[in-house]
Structure 1
Amino acid sequence: MTQRRLRIAVLNRVFDPAGGGAERYSIALVEQLAQRHEMHVFAQQIRHHAPGVTYHLVSMPLRKPRWLNQLWYATATWWATRHGFDIVHSHENTWHGQVQTVHVLPVKHNLFHGRTGLRRLLAWAKVWSSPRLLTYLGLERLRFRPCKGRHVVVTSASLGDTLAITYPGTAATTSIITPGVVLPDAPSDDAKKRGARIQLGLPPEGRCLLLVGNDYRKKGLGTLLQVLRDLPADVVLAVVGNPGQIPVFERQAQAEGVAERVFFLGSLQDVTPAYRAADCLVHPTLEDTFAMVVLEAMAHGLPVVVSSAAYCGISSLLSHGADALLLDDPQDAAKLAGTLKQVLGDEALRQQLGRQARAFASSYQWPDIARQQDAVYFESLAEAQS
């Protein structure tokens, strides 16, 4: 049965592939869905162009404070999309939109989880004295209130569990739609690897570890820099992500005596050359609801060393020693060093992990992910019209 063409508004403040995993998730879905629906993107920063997509630049009278800009964006997009769309799909903390995709832990969870008695009272005092927290918490409560036809999408089962505990009313209308990938035709061979390294300004010889993420502290770069000094001298580290955090970690690299082996590449519009250049992705994250970069690296046939499911959503889908190497404690430098020495020193293990990684990623390709999103749209419409 052919489904009708919908007019869909997508809300994402930053529509730029260099923005991070959440932004790349939204962009990839829009590209896929534009093949069968009329897609409209409402964003304050736009660095993207795709056929069949209409872009609407939302004004930004004040960049800071961020909470005031968030309130402005929510209000401006509500006004712009209140008529004329079959579906409003928000990736942002807004009170409107039939479909709400959640990429991060709820503000309420971060404020109150595990706090009882006096600690909970102090947390509430902090909220009531902070316009920023009041705004974020208020928007979130409105975002997750039960509404006819409203559906919530989370990127991992662990995030869904947290959301259900924090806002029980969302449990019945929550779907899990993970990020996806575009599977390269084949993993990089030696020639492609060397070419990618030259393109990025990396040493063409030796072994290269890769870390990708915008919040270097949360992604475990501090621990990885400690570990690098204990690895063989031909091992270098390429870091992709927010250039604003580079100076702090450059100083740590200097203090650890590894500055000449660390290459900060900044934000990349296309991370593909970095995946091609690397021998292993290292993701000792302290908190990730999914970790799209891990899936992307696996699609390129890279072995990955990643934090366990207690820290990283994708790891609940992985098997230690089969398609990845999982870290029980990403801050355990000795264990991380041992794991990296194991994977860098064993060619057979790297080949096995790379093959299994690619096989795993093949089950999460964007056309299939987009069909799951499509089903949510039509389910939302049917409920709203019933």
Structure 2
Amino acid sequence: MFKPTGGGAERYSIAMVEQLAARHDIHVFAQQIEHQWPGVTYHPIPWPFDKPRWINQLWFALATWWQTRRGFDVVHSHENTWHGQVQTVHVVPVKHSLLQGRTGWRLALRWLKIVTSPRLVAYLCLEHFRYKPQADRCVVLASDSLKPVMAQAYPASVPTLQVVTPGVVSVPGVVAADQKAAARVSLGLPAQGRCILFVGNDYRKKGLETLLAVLPQLPADCFVAVVGNAAQIAGFQHAVDAGGMRGRVFFLGALRTVDDAYRAADCLAHPTLEDTFAMVVLEAMAHGLPVVVSSAQYCGISGLLAHETNALIVNQPRDATELAQELQRLLADVALANTLSDNGLRFAQQHLWSEQALHQETIYQTVVSGR
């Protein structure tokens, strides 16, 4: 998909297109397109196979290969396809997820599961050809944390690896009180109290369960605003009601732009269980929000952060006690919150999309000259 309400990978690709469109002839191929930008040509790909997803993935790969096999200087794919000189990786490879750490009979059983599953065979075959070294191929990683993962799963791809992390368009900084009040009104949030922001389309993977478990331990004036996939709200609303947290948790659904949510919030909690980078953390920093985030084992951006300098980092995101302690510290210590905010703004200023786009252009030029 190519729409702002998608996940981090979608917003990454959109931001890169917007940066490059002024200097290049950009064509976008996607099945769901909700985006318009000057200088960009859009090519909707039919979606005949809603389910099973793996058949649709094969169809998309075939359809885009056919339409891009000639007439383009560089084909850049953010999807699991076998074609494209530039392949950007946003998630842990399927091969790593399936096989990492398995030996002996456990490894044999896993391979038995794979060879008897057309879905897994399809994904692994696509992935194999996607990362197969070619003279004009470059594999771009969204974070440094993916380097050892790719080296383990696809060692032959190592010479082709480059890192282009996400960025922000600008660094708006801390909002004034009247702007915060207006943002809360627009989102239907309480005018008073301290707002802890949670952003993620996969509530469970991004750690909402742990955050909700922590909320009763926080001061009574604290509430949580949840931004992301509205289809998951029903599954968590019961836990909110059962825990007596009605009136302290506000589900906002998927927002076309998260800017108002950042303006309305006092901090960001991101106890994610798996994020190769976590653009939301960087975006929150650009708005001057102090952040509490999982360690680098779980969240790629944390490998670039320093505990108590530009973020509070929790070692185990499933540990409600640890998360509660860090949030309580943040909420109680104004000086700490201001330090994290100031240093977070400096960190965001060093990760602008305009600079990341220049890096991406260099990769395109290398691919073309190498050909």
| TM-score computed with the length of structure 1 as normaliser | 0.95
User: Superposition pairs for residues 338-377 of structure 1, below 5 Å?
Assistant: 338-377=325-364
Aligned twin of 2:208: 221
Aligned twin of 2:126: 139
Aligned twin of 1:94: 81
CA–CA distance in structure 2, aligned partners of residues 322 and 243 of structure 1: 34
Aligned twin of 1:39: 26
- The 3-state SS of whatever aligns with 1:187 is coil
Higher mean C-alpha deviation, range 125-134 or range 179-188: 179-188
Aligned twin of 1:6: none
Equivalent residue for 2:181, pick from 177, 194, 197: 194
Q: Percent identity?
A: 58
* 1:382 is the counterpart of 2:369: yes
Aligned length: 371
User: Superposition pairs for residues 133-172 of structure 1, below 5 Å?
Assistant: 133-172=120-159
CA–CA distance in structure 1, aligned partners of residues 77 and 177 of structure 2: 42
Kindly provide the CA deviation profile for residues 282-320 of structure 1, in whole angstroms up to 9, marking residues without a partner as x. 000011100010000001110000001111000000000
Aligned twin of 1:275: 262
Q: Structure 2: which 5+ runs fail to align?
A: none
Query: Cα distance, 1:186 vs. partner?
Result: 3.3
CA–CA distance in structure 2, aligned partners of residues 198 and 342 of structure 1: 28
CA–CA distance in structure 2, aligned partners of residues 207 and 38 of structure 1: 45
CA–CA distance in structure 2, aligned partners of residues 193 and 164 of structure 1: 45
Any conservation in 2 of the 1:182–1:299 contact (CA below 8 Å)? Answer: no
Aligned twin of 2:222: 235
Q: Structure 1: which 5+ runs fail to align?
A: 1-13
Any conservation in 2 of the 1:307–1:315 contact (CA below 8 Å)? Answer: yes
Kindly provide the CA deviation profile for residues 104-159 of structure 1, in whole angstroms up to 9, marking residues without a partner as x. 00000000000001111111111111111111111000101111100000011111
- The 3-state SS of whatever aligns with 1:46 is coil
Query: Cα distance, 1:347 vs. partner?
Result: 1.6
Equivalent residue for 2:59, pick from 69, 72, 88: 72
Any conservation in 1 of the 2:180–2:264 contact (CA below 8 Å)? Answer: yes
Query: Cα distance, 1:20 vs. partner?
Result: 1.0
Aligned twin of 1:111: 98
Higher mean C-alpha deviation, range 306-315 or range 182-191: 182-191
Any conservation in 1 of the 2:171–2:345 contact (CA below 8 Å)? Answer: no
* 1:324 is the counterpart of 2:311: yes
CA RMSD of aligned residues (A): 0.8
AA in 2 matched with 1:358: L
Any conservation in 1 of the 2:171–2:349 contact (CA below 8 Å)? Answer: no
Kindly provide the CA deviation profile for residues 50-83 of structure 1, in whole angstroms up to 9, marking residues without a partner as x. 0000000000111111100000000000000000
AA in 2 matched with 1:38: D
User: Superposition pairs for residues 250-269 of structure 1, below 5 Å?
Assistant: 250-269=237-256
CA–CA distance in structure 2, aligned partners of residues 332 and 60 of structure 1: 41
| TM-score computed with the length of structure 2 as normaliser | 0.99
CA–CA distance in structure 1, aligned partners of residues 176 and 137 of structure 2: 47
Any conservation in 1 of the 2:3–2:34 contact (CA below 8 Å)? Answer: yes
Any conservation in 2 of the 1:183–1:300 contact (CA below 8 Å)? Answer: no
* 1:179 is the counterpart of 2:152: no
AA in 1 matched with 2:149: T
Kindly provide the CA deviation profile for residues 319-375 of structure 1, in whole angstroms up to 9, marking residues without a partner as x. 000000000111111111111111111222111111110100000001100000000
CA–CA distance in structure 2, aligned partners of residues 241 and 196 of structure 1: 17
Any conservation in 1 of the 2:171–2:348 contact (CA below 8 Å)? Answer: no
Query: Cα distance, 1:27 vs. partner?
Result: 0.2
Higher mean C-alpha deviation, range 338-347 or range 103-112: 338-347
- The 3-state SS of whatever aligns with 1:193 is helix
- The 3-state SS of whatever aligns with 1:224 is helix
